[in-house]
Protein backbone atom coordinates (compact mmCIF):
# COMPACT_ATOMS: atom_id res chain seq x y z
CA UNK A 1 0.00 0.00 0.00
CA UNK A 2 2.82 2.42 0.87
CA UNK A 3 4.58 1.78 -2.45
CA UNK A 4 1.34 2.30 -4.44
CA UNK A 5 0.64 5.56 -2.60
CA UNK A 6 4.20 6.71 -3.15
CA UNK A 7 4.04 6.16 -6.89
CA UNK A 8 0.66 7.84 -7.19
CA UNK A 9 2.24 10.84 -5.49
CA UNK A 10 5.21 10.54 -7.86
CA UNK A 11 2.84 10.69 -10.86
CA UNK A 12 1.19 13.84 -9.54
CA UNK A 13 4.53 15.47 -8.87
CA UNK A 14 5.76 14.37 -12.30
CA UNK A 15 2.94 16.31 -13.95
CA UNK A 16 3.87 19.44 -12.01
CA UNK A 17 7.58 18.89 -12.67
CA UNK A 18 6.99 18.44 -16.39
CA UNK A 19 4.87 21.57 -16.71
CA UNK A 20 7.51 23.64 -14.95
CA UNK A 21 10.56 22.25 -16.74
CA UNK A 22 9.43 21.47 -20.29
CA UNK A 23 8.51 24.51 -22.36
CA UNK A 24 5.57 23.65 -24.59
CA UNK A 25 5.16 24.84 -28.14
CA UNK A 26 1.54 24.71 -29.23
CA UNK A 27 2.11 25.70 -32.86
CA UNK A 28 0.56 23.42 -35.46
CA UNK A 29 2.25 20.06 -35.87
CA UNK A 30 4.10 20.10 -32.53
CA UNK A 31 3.50 17.72 -29.67
CA UNK A 32 3.24 19.10 -26.15
CA UNK A 33 6.18 16.83 -25.27
CA UNK A 34 8.48 18.44 -27.85
CA UNK A 35 11.77 19.87 -26.63
CA UNK A 36 13.35 22.33 -29.06
CA UNK A 37 16.67 21.26 -30.56
CA UNK A 38 19.48 23.58 -29.48
CA UNK A 39 21.75 25.35 -31.95
CA UNK A 40 24.67 23.99 -29.92
CA UNK A 41 24.77 21.33 -27.23
CA UNK A 42 23.34 22.71 -24.00
CA UNK A 43 22.45 19.51 -22.16
CA UNK A 44 21.68 19.73 -18.45
CA UNK A 45 24.04 16.85 -17.78
CA UNK A 46 26.57 14.85 -19.72
CA UNK A 47 28.79 11.80 -19.39
CA UNK A 48 32.26 12.26 -17.97
CA UNK A 49 33.63 9.09 -19.55
CA UNK A 50 36.95 9.35 -21.36
CA UNK A 51 38.21 5.77 -21.53
CA UNK A 52 36.98 2.23 -22.04
CA UNK A 53 37.89 1.41 -18.45
CA UNK A 54 35.60 4.20 -17.28
CA UNK A 55 32.78 3.05 -19.57
CA UNK A 56 33.10 -0.48 -18.19
CA UNK A 57 33.15 0.87 -14.63
CA UNK A 58 30.10 3.01 -15.35
CA UNK A 59 28.08 -0.04 -16.43
CA UNK A 60 29.29 -2.27 -13.61
CA UNK A 61 26.31 -3.04 -11.37
CA UNK A 62 27.25 -2.82 -7.72
CA UNK A 63 24.21 -1.53 -5.86
CA UNK A 64 20.46 -1.11 -6.13
CA UNK A 65 21.19 2.60 -5.67
CA UNK A 66 22.60 2.84 -9.20
CA UNK A 67 21.83 5.78 -11.51
CA UNK A 68 19.13 4.63 -14.01
CA UNK A 69 19.13 5.86 -17.60
CA UNK A 70 16.87 6.40 -20.59
CA UNK A 71 17.77 5.04 -24.02
CA UNK A 72 16.15 7.07 -26.80
CA UNK A 73 14.97 4.53 -29.38
CA UNK A 74 16.14 5.63 -32.84
CA UNK A 75 17.28 8.83 -31.17
CA UNK A 76 13.91 9.95 -29.81
CA UNK A 77 11.91 11.07 -32.89
CA UNK A 78 8.76 13.15 -32.56
CA UNK A 79 6.17 14.57 -34.95
CA UNK A 80 8.63 17.02 -36.45
CA UNK A 81 11.95 15.35 -35.63
CA UNK A 82 13.05 12.37 -37.77
CA UNK A 83 14.41 9.11 -36.45
CA UNK A 84 18.16 8.57 -36.78
CA UNK A 85 18.88 12.28 -37.28
CA UNK A 86 21.65 14.25 -35.62
CA UNK A 87 19.22 17.10 -34.91
CA UNK A 88 16.96 14.65 -33.09
CA UNK A 89 19.92 13.41 -31.05
CA UNK A 90 20.64 17.01 -30.05
CA UNK A 91 17.03 17.45 -28.97
CA UNK A 92 17.18 14.33 -26.79
CA UNK A 93 20.60 15.22 -25.37
CA UNK A 94 19.26 18.60 -24.27
CA UNK A 95 17.33 16.74 -21.57
CA UNK A 96 20.50 15.48 -19.90
CA UNK A 97 22.48 12.23 -19.75
CA UNK A 98 20.82 9.84 -22.19
CA UNK A 99 21.72 6.86 -24.31
CA UNK A 100 21.06 7.24 -28.03
CA UNK A 101 20.03 4.05 -29.82
CA UNK A 102 20.53 4.30 -33.59
CA UNK A 103 20.81 2.12 -36.68
CA UNK A 104 23.88 1.70 -38.89
CA UNK A 105 23.80 0.80 -42.60
CA UNK A 106 26.51 0.78 -45.28
CA UNK A 107 26.31 2.26 -48.78
CA UNK A 108 27.43 0.52 -51.94
CA UNK A 109 30.73 2.43 -51.68
CA UNK A 110 31.22 1.42 -48.02
CA UNK A 111 30.18 4.65 -46.27
CA UNK A 112 28.48 4.02 -42.91
CA UNK A 113 25.28 6.01 -42.41
CA UNK A 114 22.29 5.98 -40.06
CA UNK A 115 18.94 4.56 -41.13
CA UNK A 116 16.66 1.82 -39.87
CA UNK A 117 15.18 0.64 -43.17
CA UNK A 118 17.06 -0.56 -46.22
CA UNK A 119 14.48 1.16 -48.40
CA UNK A 120 14.39 4.96 -48.48
CA UNK A 121 10.71 5.74 -48.99
CA UNK A 122 9.45 5.69 -45.39
CA UNK A 123 12.08 7.94 -43.85
CA UNK A 124 13.37 10.09 -46.74
CA UNK A 125 12.26 11.85 -49.91
CA UNK A 126 14.28 9.32 -51.92
CA UNK A 127 13.37 6.04 -53.52
CA UNK A 128 15.00 2.65 -53.76
CA UNK A 129 17.36 0.71 -51.51
CA UNK A 130 19.85 2.87 -49.65
CA UNK A 131 22.45 0.14 -49.31
CA UNK A 132 22.56 -0.16 -53.11
CA UNK A 133 23.36 3.53 -53.56
CA UNK A 134 26.57 5.51 -53.15
CA UNK A 135 27.00 8.19 -50.52
CA UNK A 136 26.98 10.79 -53.31
CA UNK A 137 23.44 9.64 -54.15
CA UNK A 138 22.26 9.60 -50.52
CA UNK A 139 23.80 12.86 -49.36
CA UNK A 140 21.27 15.23 -51.06
CA UNK A 141 18.23 13.41 -49.61
CA UNK A 142 16.18 14.84 -46.77
CA UNK A 143 14.68 12.92 -43.87
CA UNK A 144 10.97 12.68 -43.10
CA UNK A 145 9.66 13.34 -39.60
CA UNK A 146 7.19 11.01 -37.90
CA UNK A 147 4.30 13.03 -39.32
CA UNK A 148 5.54 12.23 -42.82
CA UNK A 149 6.66 15.76 -43.60
CA UNK A 150 10.01 16.24 -45.31
CA UNK A 151 12.42 18.16 -43.07
CA UNK A 152 15.57 20.06 -43.88
CA UNK A 153 17.65 17.41 -42.13
CA UNK A 154 19.95 15.14 -44.07
CA UNK A 155 20.99 11.52 -43.58
CA UNK A 156 23.89 11.53 -41.10
CA UNK A 157 27.18 9.74 -41.61
CA UNK A 158 28.24 7.63 -38.66
CA UNK A 159 31.59 9.43 -38.49
CA UNK A 160 29.87 12.81 -37.97
CA UNK A 161 27.55 11.38 -35.32
CA UNK A 162 30.41 9.79 -33.37
CA UNK A 163 32.39 13.02 -33.48
CA UNK A 164 29.43 15.01 -32.15
CA UNK A 165 28.50 12.54 -29.41
CA UNK A 166 31.78 12.14 -27.50
CA UNK A 167 31.29 13.36 -23.94
CA UNK A 168 27.60 14.12 -24.53
CA UNK A 169 25.83 10.79 -24.95
CA UNK A 170 26.45 7.06 -25.10
CA UNK A 171 25.44 5.37 -28.36
CA UNK A 172 24.03 1.88 -28.71
CA UNK A 173 24.61 0.97 -32.35
CA UNK A 174 22.18 -1.43 -34.04
CA UNK A 175 24.19 -2.98 -36.87
CA UNK A 176 21.89 -3.75 -39.80
CA UNK A 177 22.26 -6.70 -42.16
CA UNK A 178 25.03 -6.27 -44.71
CA UNK A 179 26.99 -3.81 -42.60
CA UNK A 180 30.61 -4.86 -42.18
CA UNK A 181 31.58 -5.40 -38.55
CA UNK A 182 35.19 -4.68 -39.48
CA UNK A 183 34.28 -1.37 -41.17
CA UNK A 184 32.17 -0.34 -38.19
CA UNK A 185 34.90 -1.10 -35.67
CA UNK A 186 37.42 0.76 -37.83
CA UNK A 187 35.13 3.82 -37.93
CA UNK A 188 34.73 3.77 -34.15
CA UNK A 189 38.49 3.57 -33.64
CA UNK A 190 39.18 6.28 -36.22
CA UNK A 191 36.81 8.60 -34.34
CA UNK A 192 38.34 7.67 -30.98
CA UNK A 193 34.80 6.86 -29.85
CA UNK A 194 35.40 3.52 -28.12
CA UNK A 195 34.30 4.97 -24.77
CA UNK A 196 31.06 6.34 -26.27
CA UNK A 197 29.59 3.23 -27.89
CA UNK A 198 27.91 -0.07 -27.09
CA UNK A 199 27.36 -2.54 -29.95
CA UNK A 200 23.95 -4.22 -30.14
CA UNK A 201 23.79 -7.96 -30.79
CA UNK A 202 20.73 -10.20 -31.14
CA UNK A 203 22.15 -13.69 -30.74
CA UNK A 204 25.11 -15.55 -29.29
CA UNK A 205 26.94 -15.86 -32.60
CA UNK A 206 26.81 -12.12 -33.26
CA UNK A 207 28.06 -11.44 -29.75
CA UNK A 208 30.87 -13.97 -30.09
CA UNK A 209 32.02 -12.59 -33.43
CA UNK A 210 31.99 -8.95 -32.34
CA UNK A 211 33.73 -9.81 -29.08
CA UNK A 212 36.44 -11.69 -30.98
CA UNK A 213 36.94 -8.76 -33.38
CA UNK A 214 36.92 -6.07 -30.66
CA UNK A 215 37.18 -7.61 -27.18
CA UNK A 216 37.60 -4.16 -25.63
CA UNK A 217 34.20 -2.82 -26.77
CA UNK A 218 30.98 -3.05 -24.77
CA UNK A 219 28.12 -5.20 -26.11
CA UNK A 220 24.37 -5.18 -25.63
CA UNK A 221 23.40 -8.86 -25.56
CA UNK A 222 20.04 -10.63 -25.34
CA UNK A 223 19.81 -12.16 -21.86
CA UNK A 224 16.89 -12.77 -19.52
CA UNK A 225 18.17 -15.28 -16.99
CA UNK A 226 21.10 -17.33 -15.68
CA UNK A 227 20.73 -19.98 -18.40
CA UNK A 228 21.06 -17.35 -21.14
CA UNK A 229 24.09 -15.93 -19.37
CA UNK A 230 25.76 -19.33 -18.97
CA UNK A 231 25.29 -20.05 -22.67
CA UNK A 232 26.87 -16.73 -23.70
CA UNK A 233 29.74 -17.16 -21.25
CA UNK A 234 30.44 -20.53 -22.88
CA UNK A 235 30.97 -18.62 -26.15
CA UNK A 236 33.82 -16.71 -24.51
CA UNK A 237 32.12 -13.32 -24.09
CA UNK A 238 33.36 -11.52 -20.98
CA UNK A 239 30.60 -10.58 -18.52
CA UNK A 240 32.22 -7.21 -17.76
CA UNK A 241 31.66 -6.29 -21.44
CA UNK A 242 27.94 -7.12 -21.36
CA UNK A 243 24.79 -5.08 -20.92
CA UNK A 244 21.76 -7.38 -20.90
CA UNK A 245 18.76 -6.56 -23.09
CA UNK A 246 15.98 -8.45 -21.31
CA UNK A 247 13.27 -7.99 -23.95
CA UNK A 248 10.12 -5.91 -24.33
CA UNK A 249 8.12 -7.52 -21.53
CA UNK A 250 8.88 -7.51 -17.83
CA UNK A 251 11.35 -10.30 -17.00
CA UNK A 252 11.36 -12.52 -13.96
CA UNK A 253 12.92 -10.76 -10.95
CA UNK A 254 15.05 -13.81 -10.22
CA UNK A 255 16.60 -13.53 -13.68
CA UNK A 256 17.41 -9.85 -13.14
CA UNK A 257 18.98 -10.63 -9.77
CA UNK A 258 21.17 -13.31 -11.38
CA UNK A 259 22.46 -10.80 -13.93
CA UNK A 260 23.07 -8.16 -11.27
CA UNK A 261 25.06 -10.67 -9.20
CA UNK A 262 27.46 -10.87 -12.16
CA UNK A 263 27.67 -7.06 -12.28
CA UNK A 264 25.60 -6.83 -15.48
CA UNK A 265 23.21 -3.94 -16.13
CA UNK A 266 19.79 -4.61 -17.69
CA UNK A 267 17.93 -2.84 -20.51
CA UNK A 268 14.15 -3.16 -20.81
CA UNK A 269 12.53 -2.25 -24.12
CA UNK A 270 9.45 -0.30 -23.06
CA UNK A 271 8.82 0.70 -26.68
CA UNK A 272 5.45 -0.66 -27.70
CA UNK A 273 3.14 -2.18 -25.10
CA UNK A 274 4.92 -0.96 -21.96
CA UNK A 275 5.13 2.62 -23.25
CA UNK A 276 1.41 2.51 -24.02
CA UNK A 277 0.77 1.13 -20.54
CA UNK A 278 2.69 4.02 -18.96
CA UNK A 279 0.86 6.53 -21.14
CA UNK A 280 -2.50 5.13 -20.03
CA UNK A 281 -1.78 4.45 -16.36
CA UNK A 282 0.84 7.06 -15.49
CA UNK A 283 4.54 7.74 -15.84
CA UNK A 284 5.15 6.41 -12.33
CA UNK A 285 5.36 2.98 -14.00
CA UNK A 286 8.79 3.88 -15.41
CA UNK A 287 10.03 4.38 -11.83
CA UNK A 288 8.37 1.15 -10.69
CA UNK A 289 10.20 -0.81 -13.40
CA UNK A 290 13.48 0.68 -12.22
CA UNK A 291 12.58 -0.25 -8.65
CA UNK A 292 12.02 -3.78 -9.94
CA UNK A 293 15.64 -4.00 -11.08
CA UNK A 294 15.73 -2.48 -14.57
CA UNK A 295 18.72 -0.17 -15.10
CA UNK A 296 18.02 1.29 -18.57
CA UNK A 297 14.64 1.95 -20.20
CA UNK A 298 14.70 1.90 -24.01
CA UNK A 299 11.67 3.99 -24.93
CA UNK A 300 9.82 5.82 -27.66
CA UNK A 301 8.45 8.27 -25.05
CA UNK A 302 11.75 9.93 -24.20
CA UNK A 303 10.53 13.10 -22.49
CA UNK A 304 7.98 11.62 -20.04
CA UNK A 305 10.20 8.63 -19.25
CA UNK A 306 13.24 10.85 -18.69
CA UNK A 307 11.31 13.20 -16.41
CA UNK A 308 9.96 10.28 -14.37
CA UNK A 309 13.49 8.98 -13.82
CA UNK A 310 14.83 12.48 -13.17
CA UNK A 311 12.35 12.79 -10.31
CA UNK A 312 13.33 9.29 -9.13
CA UNK A 313 17.02 10.26 -9.14
CA UNK A 314 16.48 13.54 -7.31
CA UNK A 315 14.13 12.00 -4.75
CA UNK A 316 16.76 9.41 -3.84
CA UNK A 317 19.65 11.86 -4.15
CA UNK A 318 21.43 9.49 -6.53
CA UNK A 319 24.80 10.52 -7.90
CA UNK A 320 27.29 9.02 -10.32
CA UNK A 321 30.93 10.13 -10.68
CA UNK A 322 30.70 9.62 -14.45
CA UNK A 323 27.79 12.02 -14.93
CA UNK A 324 28.17 15.80 -14.78
CA UNK A 325 25.10 17.66 -13.54
Tens of pLDDT, residue by residue over 134-168, are 999 999 999 999 999 999 999 999 999 999 999 89
Amino acid 2: pLDDT: 38
The DSSP code for 38 is P
C-beta neighbour count of 118 within 10 angstroms: 14
The arithmetic mean of pLDDT across residues 77-101, rounded, is: 95
The arithmetic mean of pLDDT across residues 261-281, rounded, is: 97
Band of residue 42 on the pLDDT scale cut at 50, 70, 90: low
Band of residue 63 on the pLDDT scale cut at 50, 70, 90: confident
- The chain-wide mean pLDDT, for the chain, equals 88
% pLDDT > 90, the chain: 82
pTM reported for the whole predicted model:
0.87
Contact 299, 68 (CB under 8 A): no
Q: In the chain, where does DSSP find H-type helix?
A: 2-21, 52-58, 86-93, 135-138, 158-165, 181-191, 204-213, 226-234, 253-261, 273-281, 284-291, 302-315
Amino acid sequence: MYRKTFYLLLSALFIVFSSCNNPQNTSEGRSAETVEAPANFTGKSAFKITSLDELEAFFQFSSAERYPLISAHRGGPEDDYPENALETFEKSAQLGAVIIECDVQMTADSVLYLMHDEKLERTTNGRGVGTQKTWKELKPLQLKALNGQVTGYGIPKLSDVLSWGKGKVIFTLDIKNGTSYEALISEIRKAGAESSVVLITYNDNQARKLHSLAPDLMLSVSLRNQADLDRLLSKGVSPEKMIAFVGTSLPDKQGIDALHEKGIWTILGTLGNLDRQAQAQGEHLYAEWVDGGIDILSTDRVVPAFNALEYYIRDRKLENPFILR
